[in-house]
Each structure stands twice: as structure tokens, then as C-alpha cells.
Amino acid sequence: MSDLRRIVLDVLQPHDPSLIELTRRVTETERVEAASASLIELDTEVRNVKITVEGEDLDYGAIEDVINDLGGTVHSIDQVACGTYVVEDKRTLQDR
């Protein structure tokens, strides 16, 4: 089976912990080399966050557990990259 190298998650998360703390905790997950988080939408009680995680042979279950432990919920998996390297998106004729 090919290694999971990148995963982009749409997460619904309460305001506490902060976006900084959420991202730091995700990067502390085994095999995670880097993570970034972007605020997509802010509500009075929750926020919608896009989290991008990269590493070698990522453990999606462990990443999801960290998010759940911090009160968040994965809404969807929006991108996945597997294999010996990450293929970057390129514009094609279908992207018009």
C-alpha cells in the first residue's frame, strides 16, 4: 500500500483551543512533519478550518483523534496525496 503523504481536512472546531494550539497539537502527532491551518469561516460558537498535514506514512486515525480530543470534528477529507512523492496540481484543459 502507498504511503499517505498529504491530507487536507475541512474541520469544524470550537474557538478554544486557539488555531495556533490546534495546529501545534496536530504537528505533535507521530509521522507528521508539517501542518498548516487556515480560518475559512467564523461563527459565534465555532469556526470552520482547513488543515493541511504532510509527512511520510501519515496515520489519519491519529490525526483525527487529536482533532476530536480538542473538540473538533472532521467535516470532510478534501485532498489526499499518496505514493513516493506528492504530485502538485497542474492546470489542464478541464480547469477552464
Q: Is the residue at 43 inside a domain? A: yes
Question: Which is nearest to 80 in space by CA: 2, 7, 1?
Answer: 7
Can you give 43-71 as a three-state secondary structure string? Answer: CCCEEEEEEEEEECCCCHHHHHHHHHHCC
The range of the structural domain enclosing residue 21 comes to: 4-85
Q: Is residue 45 part of a domain?
A: yes
Look up the CATH number of the domain holding residue 22: 3.30.70.1340
Is 94 part of any domain? no
Distance CA 14, CA 40 (A): 13
Predicted model pTM: 0.89
Asked whether residue 35 is domain-assigned, the answer is yes
Cell numbers 484543459: residue: 93
Q: Does any domain span residue 36?
A: yes
Q: Is residue 92 part of a domain?
A: no
In 3-state terms, what secondary structure has residue 82?
strand
Q: What is the pLDDT along the chain (96 residues), one digit of tens a residue?
A: 679 999 999 999 999 999 999 999 999 999 999 999 999 999 998 999 999 999 999 999 999 999 999 999 999 999 999 998 888 887 888 877
Q: Count structural domains, the chain.
A: 1
